Chain A
Amino acid sequence: RKEVEQDPGPFNVPEGATVAFNCTYSNSASQSFFWYRQDCRKEPKLLMSVYSSGNEDGRFTAQLNRASQYISLLIRDSKLSDSATYLCVVSPMNTGFQKLVFGTGTRLLVSP
């Protein structure tokens, strides 16, 4: 089983739609969680951290469910510029050195 699993998509949505992605992780001791955004042929960039109480940044809302070991990202009022691949990222705690584990990403296509 992969440490971090995501639906690869693509999710095709019209402008203005609300879209949600989920991600599951296998290590129950994981401590840090993130969503990264990656545009085509570009490097991943940090979109937002995910906190236990949930957090919001403008049109983006991230939620963490530790009991079910999943993370979600909600995008409201989708823009064309939101088209990208969204990577779910987790920091497991079973190693002495904390390093991040990346999901393979969910592709979002927002159309006019």
Chain B
Amino acid sequence: DVKVTQSSRYLVKRTGEKVFLECVQDMDHENMFWYRQDPGLGLRLIYFSYDVKMKEKGDIPEGYSVSREKKERFSLILESASTNQTSMYLCASSLPAPNYGYTFGSGTRLTVV
């Protein structure tokens, strides 16, 4: 069964901490994505990557960075966590053309206190 695995299901961090969210996929997909999901706002794209070491800003990149050193792994970094970054974070992957849609990880619920 193909999978997108996110390292943590729940995470609590303090304001100002540097936070790493890890995502690994075993489908050999070229594209990987990081979204956050908030009530009433839906899924919002933070960053995406279409190849190793390549990254592109999504709709809300401020306060975040990403790293893709290997094809299967895409990391989201919160440089200095703030309370407004409390959210559900979802990683996804896809083939180059999204005709088959995305496969999502089970999400990381991050709370910043």
Contacts and interface: CB of A to CB of B under 8 A. Distances in A.
Interface stretch (A11-19, A37-45, A59-67): A37-45
Interface in A41-86: 41-46, 49
Contacts of B107: 42-43
Contacts of A36: 101
A45 B92 CA distance: 11
Contacts of A21: none
Nearest to B105: A43
A98 B40 contact: no
A97 B50 contact: yes
A100 B98 contact: yes
Given A104-B40, A104-B42, A105-B42, A91 B106 contact: no
Nearest to A100: B98
A43 to B, nearest CB: 4
B29 to A, nearest CB: 13
Contacts of A44: 43, 90, 104
Given A89-B101, A98-B98, A103 B106 contact: no
A42 B37 CA distance: 11
B40 A45 contact: no
A111 interface: no
B56 interface: yes
B48 interface: yes
Contact of A99 (B45, B100, B109): B45
B98 A43 contact: no
Interface of A: 8, 32, 34, 36, 41-46, 49, 87, 89, 91, 97-100, 102-105
Interface of B: 31, 33, 40-43, 45, 48, 50, 56, 90, 97-107, 109
